[in-house]
Amino acid sequence: MKKNTFEKHIFSICFLTVGLLCFVTSGANAQTPKLTLDLSKTGAKVSPMLYGLMTEEINHSYDGGLYAELIRNRIFKDNSTKPEGWSLVQEDTTTRATIKLVAADPNNISYDEGRLAINEALTTCLRLTVQKSGSLAGIANEGYWGIPVKPSTAYKASFYLKGTGSTPMRRFGPPQGGGTAPSAPTIENNTAGPITVTIESNDGKIVYATGIINLEKSNFWKKYELTLTTGADVKPTTNARFVISTNRSGLYYFNMVSLFPPTYNNRPNGDRIDLAKMLKDMKPKFLRFPGGNFLEGPDLASAFPWKSTLGLIENRPGHKGSWGYRPTDGMGLYEFLMWCEEMGADPLLAVYAGYSLNGDHVDAGPLLKPYVDDALDEIEYVIGDVNTYWGAKRAADGHPAPFKLTYVEIGNEDWFDRTNSYDGRFTQFRKAIEAKYPQLTCISTIADAQYPDLKVTSGKKPAVFDEHYYRSSWDMWENASQYDSYDRNGPKIFVGEWATREGAPTTNLNAALGDAAWMTGMERNSDIVIMSCYAPLFVNVNTPTATAPKAWQWDSDLIGYNALNSFGSPSYYVQKMFSSYLGDVIVPTTAENIPTQNRPATPQRPNSQNAAPAKPKAVPTIFYSATKDAKTGTIYLKVVNTLGKVQPVQINLKGVGKVASKAAMVVIKGAKPEDTNTITEPVKIVPITSTVKGVAPTFTQKLAPYSVTILSLQSGK
Ligand code: AHR
């Protein structure tokens, strides 16, 4: 449908209410809503990249989410005053032991050899002091809201450890500037010998998996690795901790303590299997990363530091992050790219463009040049051949072949920068990127339609605009047709973040109905809406505990999880349905008799970036789009019913020739708009597949209350 859109629905409805028009066709009365799919016309092509994913470190999307690492605060930098996530464990009180954060010295100038830093990234370590041994004493990590224990599972543990006594070291002489070496009670160095490593219940009573490493007598850090395997009879639980303990006195220094369960595709430093599978099931065509606000950082110094996210995890210091906690950067640039590869998705790389969340920006010109150069380096890492500096680094990291890259986004939501500096910044980035990589297309984060006063005016118009929409279901229903009237010759649209924000932490059925309506509008117009991705993708649903904060910062997310289990929101299933049942050409479709409901006036629009009051308005209650697979002849008709009652729809397949009398139908529905899935009720609202009989060139399909229906109609080609 192009022209015959919402206006036409309204026209038809008004016309019918005064009784001037009467359609009588098989099985349908005059008021029956009617969809006519014109198969005699060749519609525009569906964008092959229409549905993708957007990701950033928010809501513990990676640490405590997709990134499979189980140890919280593995390099002890989350909080400079206390070892968050860590505690002392003692088998009994006869052992005198303490734990303390200790600054490691990157310059190796220390009286305490245990403090020598492993490298420049690991500048804090955890010291376990055992003054008098009797029984086991050690350090315990609580994980990200628990360590997930599963039966017959092999966990790979690794850590740096060094054991010393407390006698001050003489090797480096007195401190610079004079003085004497610090004094402390002498603790004998008995540290060499067996060290016990366990995954155990939080009260220590049940040991789920155990192993031993042999701590060597050495004055230097050493990395120890072992595998801990649970028994077949273990019951899944998150009520577990990871413990490293000793029965000897001494000073024990720990750093980069890591524990990985099996990962998706067994990739080292890889992803959690259940979540990766859920993403793969969505059949995403691209992945927009690394943000979002996470790209920009809270200030200019804290933008996504892609260079220090590469290589061995012990070389990654992590950084400040944008959502109130410190990301490990275990999910680094290379891991994003491997994630794309594992999903069969193209990377859509967002590069930092010199604007951060506190409102600071770098003006275009010489000051911006280092940022532009950094983006060029980053692109070289992604697509440079192995003879380039950064291409060689990528090869060394394990991927000699360049990745596929078509789109580079310059910044994120630069409309927040009301100084109008984006025009200059975008232009400088675009010029440099296109000069070196003419095959790449730069995306502007300011779209003419959304921010006409801030748009990029220098040089040619950007080829692609990124539009963001966070809305209520009313807003989605009201605006689902907005792309019907976009200029067909204007820039292409990337809807790089959008969501119907109802339900928390994950969305509810009503949000999914808003999403589906909105998606029909994008799909019908996928000649200009070339890409779209929902946000945020992930949420760790844990609520606060005595030692750990609430896991999420943003309500209404797509996929929820705790340490052990995960679930899709109704919105997740709608996403999956839309991308799984999609043709490659748009079928021009017109609608008649679409009933409306009245949107009430509200002084504000909840959960919306649009602050304007909502006016009362009649909005449609049925939304639709149709695409066809040109090779197989399958027509995918998507129809959304936002009302709590059955709505029959007459479907006319104009010019279809033959159509199979049976069709596959997939429906997601629920009894109440606020119905949802949760960690304890994960599959309340899921799609159900069935077969529909009686399909003909004209037939009537009943739409269930509060439902999204997709019919796969088999036509002759
Ligand atoms: O998706 C959550 C946030 O919303 C993103 O980080 C930001 O780009 C937008 O404002």
> Which ligand 1 atom is at minimum distance from the Cα of 294?
6
pLDDT at residue 184 in the model: 52
The stretch 437-455 carries a mean pLDDT of 94
Cβ < 6 A, ligand 1 pocket: 56, 58, 291-293, 412-413, 497, 535-536, 554
Instruction: Give 23's pLDDT tier (boundaries 50, 70, 90).
Output: very low
> Which ligand 1 atom is at minimum distance from the Cα of 413?
8
Look-up of token digits 């021009």:
588
Tens of pLDDT, residues 283-325: 999 999 999 999 999 999 999 999 999 999 999 999 999 999 9
> Which ligand 1 atom is at minimum distance from the Cα of 54?
1
Tens of pLDDT, residues 375-417: 999 999 999 999 999 999 999 999 999 999 999 999 999 999 9
pLDDT at residue 13 in the model: 31
Q: Which of 448, 457, 395 is nearest to 427 (CA)?
A: 457
Instruction: Give 115's pLDDT tier (boundaries 50, 70, 90).
Output: low
Ligand 1 centre distance from Cα of residue 462 (Å): 22
**pTM given for the model:** 0.93
The stretch 128-142 carries a mean pLDDT of 92
pLDDT at residue 2 in the model: 31
Ligand 1 centre distance from Cα of residue 371 (Å): 22
Tens of pLDDT, residues 491-533: 999 999 999 999 999 999 999 999 999 999 999 999 999 999 9
Q: Residue 635 pLDDT > 50, yes or no?
A: yes
Contact call for residues 443 and 464 (beta carbons, < 8 A): yes
pLDDT at residue 312 in the model: 97
State which H helix or E strand residue 591 sits in: strand 589-592
Q: Residue 63 pLDDT > 90, yes or no?
A: yes
Greatest Cα pair distance in the chain: 102
What span, in angstroms and rounded, lies between the C-alpha atoms of 178 and 175?
6
Tens of pLDDT, residues 604-620: 777 777 778 889 999 99
What span, in angstroms and rounded, lies between the C-alpha atoms of 231 and 630?
52
- Please list the alpha-helical segments (H only) found in 456-504: 473-479
The stretch 642-654 carries a mean pLDDT of 98
pLDDT at residue 231 in the model: 98
Q: Residue 26 pLDDT > 80, yes or no?
A: no
* φ/ψ of residue 475, rounded to 5: -65, -40
Ligand 1 centre distance from Cα of residue 468 (Å): 9
Q: Which of 405, 404, 413 is nearest to 361 (CA)?
A: 413
- Give, in order, the Cα–Cα distances in Å from 367 to each of 26, 298, 308, 454, 463: 70, 19, 22, 22, 26
Q: Nearest C-alpha to atom 2 of ligand 1 is from which residue?
A: 536
Comparing 11 with 462, which gets the higher pLDDT?
462
Tens of pLDDT, residues 562-595: 999 999 999 999 999 999 999 999 999 999 999 9
Structure tokens at 311: 């290589």
Tens of pLDDT, residues 153-209: 999 999 999 998 875 444 444 555 555 555 555 777 889 999 999 999 999 999 999
